[in-house]
Structure 1
Amino acid sequence: MPDNSQKDSPQKEQPRRRQARGERRITQLLEAAASVFCTTGYTAASTSAIAREAGVSPGTLYQFFPNKEAIAIELGDRLMHEMREAYGEALAPVAPATPLEEAVGAAVDRFIAFNCDHPVFFALMHGPDIPGRIAEEHDALHATLISRVQDLLLSLLPDARPADVTRTAHVCLGVYKAGLELVLSHEGAERDAYIEEIKKVLIGYLGPLVGDRLGTTGTTAATAPRPA
């Protein structure tokens, strides 16, 4: 009986090649869009500028995306997926003996690294006129991030009241986001200096709450979270 696998393989390979070429083109367009969004912001960006940055015609761009909102949504979806994958590593509960400085430093370094590798993430998530779907995704992302920060804090503050942990998580995330804009607007040694300042602020804030349980001094009856 003849083997048809060899005969069929060329026909099967054609769609795969077209699919691979299409995915490469999409990646090219998304990388160009990321560059344009970072340079001009989402509102001022245009499909013509994105096509020019990608080195293709606007007609080629429209074969894959109907408008710049669709590009931003696809780019945002991919970045959201990567960011969510980073949560597990960056905000995993820590061992009881882990020093506070180490726990905070590891979390900050991983999130800073992601945002420095993908500066467009900040531009899309915090722009004044981002598409509604991205805004909704950002809200969901924020809620997830708060939940993960709470889990991390609970490993540092096992006796704290839930309301105290939630409040502390919001403050930590607010401090980080405020510092992130400064980090992304600088490079080299100055960027590193701002990263260290963020760590100092967070450690200084959490230190009195955590106390010497993780090798940090400063806990008092007035500042330690009350047991539930």
Structure 2
Amino acid sequence: MPSADRRLQPRRKPRQARAELTRERILTAAAHVFGEYGYAAGTTNRIAERARISIGSLYQYFPNKDAILAELLVRHIERGTWTQADQLDLSAGSLEATVRTLVRDAIDNHRDDPQLLRIMIEEASFSQELRDTIDRHGGRRVGEVRDFLARHPDVRVRDLDTAAELIVFTVETNAHKLMADPRTIPVETFENELVDMVTRYLRGDQ
């Protein structure tokens, strides 16, 4: 029996434009199929039919739907950048405004497809590529937050490294949870409460 990691590895990495387009069609089709039918009923046959390719062609690229979902999650993580934060001087302005920028970007990065996001959270298996992507992405974000903590005059925390880890984990995890089921809490309420919580922590409010 193959290891779980090998089972999740794509079979073919495209080197030509046409092959890359086919791979993109498979991933796009899978996102639609999983969103429409759910994961259990989102079979590779349905994905191939939606992508308008043969099932044999699909299996040239991915060994199973678990590998397809793992690749979708890799891409979701790689797209998730704090776009507004990248354009701002994070040491300027009020601490609350800066925290709100970070929280709002995390929310915006998860708005596209709540059903697919929920499936990725609940069903995705962890390939080595996915683990590496999570580590790389998380490390970059923690570094960005630590940099802003070090430069902002209103930050009062005992340990910058630990604080940066806590903020990234708290914001990301809660944004994922909310946007996977946005009916649970109004987004505006969630944003305001999370901003208040993080801001108070960073200011050292008692």
Q: TM-score range by the shorter chain?
A: 0.5 to 0.7
Q: CA deviation at 1:64?
A: 3.4
- Give the one of 172, 175, 188 matched to 1:177: 172
- Corresponding residue number in structure 2 for 1:197: 193
Compute the TM-score of the two structures, normalised by the length of structure 1.
0.62
Distance 1:123 1:154 in 2: 37
- Give the one of 136, 143, 146 matched to 2:142: 146
Structure 1, gaps ≥5 residues long: 1-18, 210-217, 224-228
Higher helix share: 1
Cα distance change of structure 1 residues 204 and 159 upon mapping to structure 2, 3 Å threshold: closer
Structure 2, gaps ≥5 residues long: 1-15
Question: Does the aligned pair in 2 maintain the 1:105–1:199 contact within 8 Å?
Answer: yes
Aligned-partner residue type, residue 165 of structure 1:
L
- Corresponding residue number in structure 2 for 1:61: 58
Q: Secondary structure at the match of 1:130?
A: coil
Larger radius of gyration: 1
Q: Secondary structure at the match of 2:142?
A: helix
Distance 2:152 2:122 in 1: 30
Aligned-partner residue type, residue 30 of structure 2:
A
Q: CA deviation at 1:110?
A: 1.6
How many pairs are equivalent?
188
Distance 2:90 2:77 in 1: 28
Aligned-partner residue type, residue 109 of structure 1:
R
Q: How high is the sequence identity, in percent, across the aligned residues?
A: 26
In the alignment, does 2:136 pair up with 1:129? no
Indicate the structure whose relative CO is greater, using CA pairs within 8 Å and at least 6 residues apart: 2
In the alignment, does 2:30 pair up with 1:33? yes
Q: Secondary structure at the match of 2:125?
A: coil
Distance 1:101 1:112 in 2: 16
Q: Secondary structure at the match of 2:186?
A: helix
Question: Does the aligned pair in 1 maintain the 2:90–2:98 contact within 8 Å?
Answer: no
Distance 2:57 2:25 in 1: 12
- Corresponding residue number in structure 2 for 1:109: 104
Q: Secondary structure at the match of 1:116?
A: coil
Distance 1:65 1:96 in 2: 45
Q: CA deviation at 1:134?
A: 1.0
- Corresponding residue number in structure 2 for 1:47: 44
Cα distance change of structure 1 residues 92 and 166 upon mapping to structure 2, 3 Å threshold: farther
Question: Does the aligned pair in 2 maintain the 1:90–1:107 contact within 8 Å?
Answer: yes
Cα distance change of structure 1 residues 92 and 64 upon mapping to structure 2, 3 Å threshold: same
Question: Does the aligned pair in 2 maintain the 1:124–1:130 contact within 8 Å?
Answer: no
Distance 2:118 2:93 in 1: 30
- Corresponding residue number in structure 1 for 2:159: 164
Q: Secondary structure at the match of 2:110?
A: helix
Deviation digits for residues 5-43 of structure 1 (CA, Å, limit 9, x no counterpart): xxxxxxxxxxxxxx55544432222122234555645x8
